[in-house]
Each structure stands twice: as structure tokens, then as C-alpha cells.
């Protein structure tokens, strides 16, 4: 067992811990903060089930963005759908035996990675080319895109430029589950890839990546349009009742 393996094992444990605990804290915060008024943007569904369907369309189809900015929608969708495929493809490193669906997804995952990196490159270019977007861009917005692009490019580095012993990688990961630190292949693309993934996991609960859980808590989208039919009263507002 090398020092490098120890370092990466520790890094991934910390990253996973920060990701899970950080998200738990934020989701709890979003969940428990009251929404004192009905503020659904209308026309809105009149039932709660309808409102969740609306949120589902936002989360899966990016419905509002589709009507807002078609070009942005195309590249945002390419990135996110690509990322989803890549994540499914990567399941093979995390579960044993590998489910049939993950096996079937393998070739698509490669294209998914291309869509992901391609989408990200356009999203990055927008931040320099469009004056309005340049104005609202903070350094962290660019670093976040570079981090994701770095993860994608280092992934391809393993696949095409510097083939990695993925059997050993899987053994390393499966070992982490049982606190058995096995040897990680010393391949620069792999080490860079894992390092950046760990960084992304650590950054996640402290950054704008909170849009992923946050979209489900947006009152303008997840509320039913029924204020005349049902009286809505937050606990702190109830205390003001005379």
C-alpha cells in the first residue's frame, strides 16, 4: 500500500463526507425554512401534484430555460444530459456485479462525455463573448467550468491517451467500502481525474452547484396555485394572528 493510495483514499473519504454532510445541512435548511406567502409564478398548476410535475419538468427538461434562451438550453442540456450518461457509465466502478443497464450504457457514455465537454466549452466561451454574461461572471464561475472540463478531459486522457488499469481502479474503489486501502495505479490522468472529482465533491455544498437540490425548493415553481381555496399560514406568521 503506497502513500499515494493512502492520500487518495483519505481525500475521497473526506470529499464524500463533506458532500453528504454539506448537502444534508443545506437541504435541511431549505426544507425547514418556511414560505409565508403563496408566490407561484402563474399560470401555475392548481394542485400540489401538478406543481411537482412542473418542478420535474424544470429539473429534467429545463422547461423555463427552453422558452427563455434556446441556444443556452441546447448547450446546457448537452452538458447535463452528457454528464448524466457519464455518471451512469461510471456506475461500473462502484457496484458489483455491474447491472445490465450500466453495461448497455457503456458506449453511449463515451458520447455523453463528448456532449458534456462540448457543452461546457460553449458555456465557458459565452462567459467571455457575451457582454451581459461577462458582466455577471465571477472568477468562481470560470473556475467551476474549468474544473468540470478538466474532469472530462482527464477522463478521456485515460481512455485514449494513457490507458489505465481500470480493474485495479475498481478494486481500489471497492476496497474503500470496507476500509481496505488497495493500490491505486500511478497514472497521471487517473490521479488528476480523481483529484478534481474530489475537489468538485468538496466544493459542491458551498457553491452554486446547490442549484441541483435547490431547484426542488423554489417556491415560485413548487407551490400550487390555490390561495383562495386553501389558507396558507407559516408558523411564524401564525404567531402574528391576533
The answer to whether 114 and 160 are in contact (CB under 8 A) is: no
For residue 93, CA distances in Å to 100, 144, 150 come to 14, 25, 20
Compare residues 159 and 208 and give the one whose CB is closer to other proteins: 208
- In this structure, what C-alpha cell is assigned to residue 242? 391576533
User: Least separation, in Å, of the C-beta of 137 and other proteins?
Assistant: 6
User: Least separation, in Å, of the C-beta of 110 and other proteins?
Assistant: 26
Compare residues 2 and 69 and give the one whose CB is closer to other proteins: 69
User: Least separation, in Å, of the C-beta of 39 and other proteins?
Assistant: 6
User: Least separation, in Å, of the C-beta of 151 and other proteins?
Assistant: 17
Compare residues 89 and 221 and give the one whose CB is closer to other proteins: 221
Burial 58-74 (b: 16+ CB within 10 A, else e): beeebbeebeeeeebbe
User: Least separation, in Å, of the C-beta of 35 and other proteins?
Assistant: 4
Q: How far is CA 64 from the centre of its chain?
A: 19
Compare residues 5 and 218 and give the one whose CB is closer to other proteins: 218
SS3 137: coil
- In this structure, what C-alpha cell is assigned to residue 239? 404567531
Q: Please compute, for residue 197, the number of CA atoms within 13 A of its CA located in the half-sphere on the CB side.
A: 19
Compare residues 178 and 211 and give the one whose CB is closer to other proteins: 211
Q: Outline where 91-138 has alpha helix (H).
A: 100-129, 131-136
Footprint of other proteins on this chain (CB under 8 A)?
26, 29-30, 33-46, 58, 62, 64-65, 67-69, 72, 76, 126, 130-133, 135-141, 143, 206-208, 210-211, 214-215, 217-221, 225, 227-234, 236-237, 240
User: Least separation, in Å, of the C-beta of 224 and other proteins?
Assistant: 10
* C-alpha to C-alpha distance for 141 and 58, rounded to whole angstroms: 22
Compare residues 46 and 96 and give the one whose CB is closer to other proteins: 46
Farthest-apart Cα atoms in the chain, separation:
72
Amino acid at each position: 500500500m503506497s502513500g499515494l493510495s493512502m492520500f487518495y483514499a483519505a481525500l475521497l473519504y473526506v470529499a464524500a463526507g463533506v458532500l453528504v454532510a454539506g448537502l444534508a445541512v443545506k437541504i435541511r435548511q431549505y426544507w425547514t425554512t418556511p414560505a409565508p406567502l403563496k408566490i407561484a409564478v402563474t399560470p401555475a398548476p392548481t394542485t400540489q401534484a401538478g406543481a411537482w410535475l412542473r418542478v420535474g419538468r424544470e429539473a429534467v427538461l429545463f422547461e423555463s430555460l427552453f422558452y427563455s434562451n434556446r441556444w443556452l438550453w441546447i448547450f446546457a442540456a448537452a452538458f447535463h444530459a452528457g454528464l448524466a450518461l457519464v455518471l451512469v457509465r461510471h456506475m461500473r466502478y462502484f457496484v458489483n456485479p455491474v447491472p445490465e443497464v450500466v453495461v448497455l450504457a457503456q458506449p453511449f457514455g463515451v458520447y455523453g462525455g463528448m456532449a458534456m465537454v462540448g457543452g461546457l466549452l460553449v458555456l465557458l466561451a459565452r462567459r467571455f463573448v457575451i457582454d451581459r454574461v461577462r458582466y455577471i461572471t465571477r472568477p468562481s464561475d470560470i473556475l467551476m467550468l474549468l474544473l468540470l472540463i478538466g474532469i472530462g478531459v482527464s477522463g478521456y486522457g485515460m481512455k485514449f491517451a494513457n490507458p489505465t488499469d481500470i480493474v485495479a481502479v475498481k478494486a481500489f474503489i471497492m476496497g474503500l467500502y470496507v476500509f481496505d486501502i488497495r493500490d491505486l495505479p500511478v497514472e497521471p490522468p487517473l490521479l488528476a481525474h480523481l483529484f478534481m472529482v474530489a475537489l468538485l465533491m468538496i466544493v459542491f455544498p458551498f457553491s452554486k452547484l446547490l442549484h441541483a437540490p435547490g431547484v426542488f425548493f423554489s417556491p415560485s415553481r413548487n407551490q400550487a396555485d390555490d390561495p383562495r381555496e386553501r389558507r396558507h399560514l407559516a408558523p411564524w406568521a401564525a404567531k402574528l394572528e391576533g
